[in-house]
Amino acid sequence: MSAAPGQPQPLCLTTTRPLSGDVTVPGDKSISHRSLMLGALAVGETRVTGLLEGEDVLATAAAMRAMGADISRNDAGEWRIHGVGVGGLLQPQTALDMGNSGTSTRLLMGLVASHPITATFVGDASLSSRPMGRVITPLAQMGATISATPGPDIKGLGRQTLPLTLTGACPAIPLRYTLPVASAQVKSAILLAGLNTPGDTTVIEPIPTRDHSERMLAGFGARLTVETAPEGRIITIHGEAELKPQTIVVPGDPSSAAFPMVAALIVPGSDIIIRNVGINPTRAGLIAVLQAMGGDITLLNQRDVGGEPVADLHVRHSALMGIEVPPDGAPSMIDEYPILFVAAACAQGRTVCHGLEELRVKESDRIAVMAEGLMACGIACEELADGLIVAGQGGDAVPGGATINARLDHRIAMCFAVLGLNARRPVRIDDARPIQTSFPTFVPMMQQLGATADH
């Protein structure tokens, strides 16, 4: 029985047997957002299959509709987008509700920044505490006017948060900008602003981040170049572009696949296949780290789907060992650290992770919240300013026996649901509703693998 709307929905996953079966995960969230945004700026009809129908992506769809795009879904699950053309976004009549989604907010701020319109962005309590100064600074340099809500100061750098109102500049001023944080959202916001800016807009990223925006902008016909130089990747977009509609097949989300992957590694005897998972090297860092910990993960049937590398993952239960995780790979698995900490809790020995300052400004402070939850489940950890040390116990199941406050963070909720599969006493999540933002089929998929869900 499902809870009444507005009521917390507790969740507890358990299993008495190995996980087995053959599953798929929903479409990639990053690619789904970008499909809707770029389709909404193309002239003609873009068709998308495999779109993630989670709340974050639906927030992007609603915003693009509010700015003039015609977006529909047919009974076969195919999405069709009739775009307004670059430069053609209309002023939304009401505030854009971004829900829980940082990607929607920051990328759409980029789009609005070079259109002659004003938009107000609002979000839930989690999103309203996340830093927006990182996009406000470059977009203001491009001429946008932004009035944001002051948030708590971080490291003396000040902090600006939602609600905020942004008025675009037309024409916007082309920018050459070196990213001060490794963030694909900041990079993408500037490149999207550059679409309707005369001349060349350049982003320099000293540390590479996910490259879906570059791949997809080029696929839609924008003039975009990428050079590798000593200072990093230099990405230049030539503005006042005309985008051509595309047919897009969205691959399965590696960030979602991470949950059944770790579940199979930690539940004794498990043997599963996860089909059609994106393995873009800017996203696939977790696989190599888990393999280095002794995880039995094989990539089958590697292929290319719509310009993105994809594989089927064969995952078997493994005796994991703690390792030092190289910090230079952090951007390629930034959303996967919380579930890596779960794998580490079930490994033998210490897993040491550094270079994770960005985890503190996600949907929750993912270092602090994971440390607190793991300790409540009987796992020793040491919180560092930029990371976490998890002292794995190996062998037996972890103690468990805690109720976790998921803090409006979908990945925290899924992490502790997975940990509960290898715990002696149940691990309960106070409210599993945030899982709807990125992985609406998480619970049925885990049940398909053999888990039991108590609500």
Ligand X SMILES: C=C(OP(=O)(O)O)C(=O)O
Binding positions are 29-30, 34, 102, 130, 183, 185, 335, 362, 366, 411
Pair of tokens at residue 396: 């037996």
* Angle formed at CA 42 by CA 36 and CA 43, multiple of 5 degrees: 135
Q: What residues between 338 and 377 interact with ligand S3P by CB under 6 A?
A: 358
Annotate each residue in 383-412 with x if it binds ligand X (CB under 6 A) or - if it does not, as one string: ----------------------------x-
Q: What residues between 4 and 43 interact with ligand S3P by CB under 6 A?
A: 30
| 360, HSE (Cβ side, Cα atoms, 13 Å) | 13
Is the Cβ of residue 32 or residue 197 nearer to ligand S3P in the bound state?
A: 32
Dihedral pair phi/psi, residue 46, rounded to 5°: -95, 140
Distance CA 107, CA 32 (A): 13
3-state class percentages of the chain: helix first, strand second, coil last, to nearest 5: 35, 30, 35
Q: What residues between 20 and 79 interact with ligand X by CB under 6 A?
A: 56
Annotate each residue in 424-453 with x if it binds ligand X (CB under 6 A) or - if it does not, as one string: --------------x---------------
Region of 12-20, 81-89, 98-106, 421-429 interacting with ligand X (CB under 6 A): 98-106
Catalytic residue numbers read 335
Binding-site residues for 3-phosphoshikimate sit at 29-30, 34, 183, 185, 335, 362
CB of residue 103 to ligand S3P, shortest distance in Å = 4
Selection from ligand S3P, ligand X, none that 363 binds (CB < 5 to 8 A by kind) is: ligand X
Tell whether residue 200 is a contact of ligand S3P (CB under 6 A).
no
Is the Cβ of residue 56 or residue 372 nearer to ligand X in the bound state?
A: 56
When binding is defined by CB under 6 A, the residue of 205, 308, 335, 336 that contacts ligand S3P is 335
Selection from ligand X, ligand S3P, none that 115 binds (CB < 5 to 8 A by kind) is: none
Tell whether residue 126 is a contact of ligand S3P (CB under 6 A).
no
Tell whether residue 101 is a contact of ligand X (CB under 6 A).
yes
Pair of tokens at residue 17: 């047997």
When binding is defined by CB under 6 A, the residue of 185, 197, 246, 280 that contacts ligand S3P is 185
Region of 99-107, 193-201, 263-271, 387-395 interacting with ligand X (CB under 6 A): 99-107
Pair of tokens at residue 195: 């679409």
Pair of tokens at residue 61: 């769809």
Evaluate whether 91 touches 119 at the Cβ level (below 8 Å). yes
Dihedral pair phi/psi, residue 176, rounded to 5°: -120, 120
Tell whether residue 183 is a contact of ligand S3P (CB under 6 A).
yes
Tell how strand 176-178 and strand 247-249 pair up: unpaired
Provide the 10 A C-beta neighbour count for residue 320: 25
Q: What residues between 359 and 378 interact with ligand X by CB under 6 A?
A: 362-363
Contacts for 220-229 with beta carbons within 8 Å, 24 or more apart?
A: 220/38, 220/41, 220/42, 220/244, 220/245, 220/246, 222/195, 224/191, 229/204
Region of 101-109, 186-194, 228-236, 308-316 interacting with ligand X (CB under 6 A): 101-109
Tell whether residue 408 is a contact of ligand S3P (CB under 6 A).
no
Dihedral pair phi/psi, residue 237, rounded to 5°: -115, 135
Binding-site residues for phosphoenolpyruvate sit at 29, 102, 130, 185, 366, 411
Tell whether residue 184 is a contact of ligand S3P (CB under 6 A).
yes
Which DSSP string do the residues of 116-182 spell out, in sequence order?
Answer: S-EEEEE--TTGGGS--HHHHHHHHHTT-EEEEEE---STTS--EEEEEEEE--SSPPP-EEE-SS-
Region of 13-21, 135-143, 180-188, 320-328 interacting with ligand S3P (CB under 6 A): 180-188
Tell whether residue 103 is a contact of ligand S3P (CB under 6 A).
yes
Residue 227: exposure state from Cβ atoms within 10 A (0-12, 13-18, ≥19): exposed
Which DSSP string do the residues of 290-324 spell out, in sequence order?
Answer: HHHTT-EEEEEEEEEETTEEEEEEEEE----B--E
When binding is defined by CB under 6 A, the residue of 71, 334, 427, 432 that contacts ligand S3P is 334
Residues 6+ positions from 75 with CB-CB distance below 8 Å: none
Tell whether residue 318 is a contact of ligand S3P (CB under 6 A).
no
Selection from ligand X, ligand S3P, none that 144 binds (CB < 5 to 8 A by kind) is: none
CB of residue 423 to ligand S3P, shortest distance in Å = 27
When binding is defined by CB under 6 A, the residue of 188, 270, 276, 332 that contacts ligand S3P is 188
Tell how strand 232-238 and strand 223-229 pair up: antiparallel
Is the Cβ of residue 182 or residue 449 nearer to ligand S3P in the bound state?
A: 182
When binding is defined by CB under 6 A, the residue of 50, 83, 102, 260 that contacts ligand X is 102
List contacts with ligand S3P (CB under 6 A): 30, 103, 183-185, 188, 210, 334-335, 358
